[in-house]
Amino acid sequence: MTDDEPRIGRTMSHYKLTSRLGAGGMGVVYKADDLQLGRQVAVKFLSPEFARDEAALQRFQREARAASAINHPNICTIHGIDEHDSDHFIVMELLEGETLASRIARGPLPIAELLEIGLQIVDALESAHARGIVHRDLKPANVFLTTRGHIKVLDFGLATFDVSQTHVADITVSREPLSSASRTFGTVSYMSPEQARGEVADARSDIFSLGVVLYEMATGVLPFRGETIALMFEGLLNRNPAPPSQLVPSHMPELDRIVAHALEKDRRYRCQSAPEVRTALLRLRRDLDEARSRDPGSSRSTAHAPSTVGTSVAVLYFDNLSGAKEDEYLRDGITEDVITELSKIRGLRLRSRASVLAFRDQIVTPAEVGQKLGASCVLTGSVRRLGNRLRINTQLIDTRTDDPLWSERYDRELQDIFDMQAEIARSIAQAMRITLSPEEREALAARPTEVLQAYDVFLRGRNYARRMSRLDLEFALQMFENAVALDPSFGLAHAAIAATAAQYFYFCDRSPRWMDRAREATALASRLAPDAPEVLVAQGWVAQGEMQFDQAEALAREALRRNPDVECGYYLLARVLFASGRYRQLMEISEDAIAHSAENYNIWVPIRNACRVLGRVDQSRILVQRELQVFTRQVERVPEDARARVLLAGDYADLGRAGEAEREVQLALAMRPGDGVLLYNAGCVFCRLGKRAEALRALTDSVNVGFYPHTAWARKDPDLESLHGDPQFEALFPPEGTE
């Protein structure tokens, strides 16, 4: 059929076409009556010029298959695919409203409307990505705004079920007077750099396109523009757009950070998943709501935030000028404690420790940090230890102007460290023109201990405890015991003893004495620091050791409510959720857990496992790439960290780098021979390498040296799934109720 207008009034299959709704790309869409089910639907036909093109027909059918594989309220529902007299068509739900492209044409969106639409798009992408489906052509013309305020993502014609396979389609250019005979994926204005280079697209490619859409919603213009395709590609590949707040000053600087993170040209540094974008957008919406609660009379379009909400500070890890490796723990501890002190000031918004971790020991400018993290100010510093004296230089810098807002040099006895940390926090508040409340002043004046040597060994112990091997936990416990010997009133050190002893019981030795020690230390910590979230975490580890998962979860959540950065808080919660089979709940907190866990890389283990159990293949691939960077960085920085090496080996195995996986796992076992935790991890690596015999041998050895057969974890561990049913595995990890 060469003229589509005669279709109106015709009945095709059991669909009577009543009016023409529009055309675009490869299809023409009609409103129709479903005579069988008595409903109105939209019917999309392949355009006549493509009707005899086999590749176009395959793309048309792929759209139907991809969209129909997803049942989500923010994705247009596909009812079926049919053919009538050689006319191929897709039947889908009838939508009333307008496209996002039409809405943007009327001007930039208010921040609240932008966030609502953005969050719904993110939900749609997460659902698609969880099924291994990448859209590859996300743009405002493919986002429909219904009259009921919902969004629907359309046109999965370029989607693929397998990101390792490539497909070719004509370039289309939205709202640009361009055409080209080139062939690549998607629409030039919205495609990712890797798509522009002809590389395989993955979920992060959709994240880039989402960043373009967010930018256009915020500003009304595209971030990468040009009169020719060549100029557009040049900008896409080589230039960064002006931040949205420069074009629309009323927008919050936090939106700049979100967009910049999504528009990273190298996908390794880009926002890695839809849930990560959702977390950022939800935080921005929370900030907006808080701003409105302080200023109820503000209008919807202009009340983006008072100046204090935009006051965001990134505290970079201080430089260790002594050069001594043994002072690294002190440098890290001081930096993290300064962040903790600043978190007590409600008028400041701090970037998480995990977000600044990538900048540690790197040469970066404040402007670069500000752009990547959306921070209006950066606190830099250096630490030099000279015997019992400590020299700290600090500087607060405006990331937009590169001007110093405040700087100070402290040259004092080591025992004055707490005064220095509190003074830094007070000075920053003063530089930001923030008036501290009496409660905030009291919180800043509080000290964890009056004995500096106790604090010193406490920081050392915390460094070892994160490595989780038997020997490292023993070292950590010894350090914490030394801390309370020096200061029996040091509540946080007692809490650390409790948590470490409970972990030792859980991972290494089921002797009741470890739990007795944990309970004794918990009782002391509760009396000495009754309000400290660290005490709740310690109680949570004791509850986990007793397999009281509900209680452990409640304690962890309350600790995180008091302080999201509390040591091991998110790791405890993640382990509990995985062990109790609540995988979806675990994935819901995953991005917050990563953001607040900083150097505690153990958080990646339960998150990746839950993702794999849920069958989220594409998201699992992304997680492997992200954690690979974390484990690699840790091994480079602390070569003796055997736990990080064995986890790195697992990532190498997943990526098919078998030789590197074997090397790292053997090196880890040589560093900590006979360690039950590492032997269990090695068994997981061997399973991922397909080495069944080696896996069973490592798991048997782990149990023989004291690693308790944790049925609640091991039988849920996706790494070990291939061993289920094997008599040796069943004997090591019997089903619950048969032990």
- Give tens-digit pLDDT for 243-294: 888 777 666 778 888 998 898 888 888 888 888 888 888 888 877 776 666 5
Please check whether the domain covering 311-445 is classified as CATH 3.40.50.10610.
yes
Between 325 and 211, whose confidence is greater?
211
pLDDT at position 26, please? Answer: 63
What local confidence, expressed as pLDDT, does residue 55 receive?
Answer: 61
**Residue 171 burial class via C-beta count within 10 angstroms: exposed 0-12, middle 13-18, buried 19 and up:** middle
pLDDT score of 167: 28
Is the pTM higher than 0.85? The answer reads: no
pLDDT digits 0-9 by tens, 506-554:
888 889 999 999 999 999 999 999 999 999 999 999 999 898 999 999 9
3-class SS of residue 92: strand
Q: Which of 44-58, 343-357, 401-415, 466-480 has the lowest mean pLDDT?
A: 44-58
Q: What is the mean pLDDT of residues 417-434?
A: 80
pLDDT tens digit sequence for 189-202: 888 888 887 787 88
The pLDDT tens digits for 340-396 are: 788 788 777 788 777 787 788 778 888 888 877 778 889 998 888 877 788 888 888
Nearest Cα neighbor of 556 from 501, 610, 571, 499 is 571
CATH tag for 5-93 (out of 3.30.200.20, 3.40.630.10, 3.40.50.1110, 3.40.220.10): 3.30.200.20
Confidence of residue 736 (pLDDT cuts 50, 70, 90): low
How far, in Å, are 23, 382, 454, 466, 632 from residue 459 at the CA level?
A: 65, 18, 9, 11, 23
- Comparing CA positions, the residue from 279, 278, 306 lying closest to residue 292 is 306
- The CA distance from 233 to 231, in Å, is 5
Whether 151 shows a pLDDT value over 70: the answer reads yes
CATH number of 98-294: 1.10.510.10
Give the angle 340-346-351 at the CA atoms, nearest 5°.
50
Q: Is the pLDDT of residue 1 over 50?
A: no
The pLDDT score that the predictor gives to residue 297 is 46
**For the chain, domain boundaries:** 5-93, 98-294, 311-445, 616-739
Residue 298 has pLDDT above 60, yes or no: no
Q: What pLDDT does 162 receive?
A: 37
- The model's confidence at residue 61, banded by pLDDT at 50, 70 and 90, is low
400 CB-side CA count, 13 A:
12
Which among 156, 110, 151 is positioned nearest to 129, based on CA atoms?
156
Statement: residue 85 has pLDDT above 80:
no
Per-residue pLDDT averaged across 450-458, rounded?
Answer: 87
Mean pLDDT of the chain: 81
Q: Up-side HSE of residue 501: CA atoms within 13 Å toward CB?
A: 25
- CATH architecture of structural domain 616-739: Alpha Horseshoe (1.25)
Digit-coded pLDDT (tens) for 653-676: 999 999 999 999 999 999 988 899
> Is 4 or 610 the better-scoring residue by pLDDT?
610
Residue 70 has pLDDT above 70, yes or no: no
Residues noted as catalytic: 137
- What is the predicted pLDDT for the residue at 512? 92
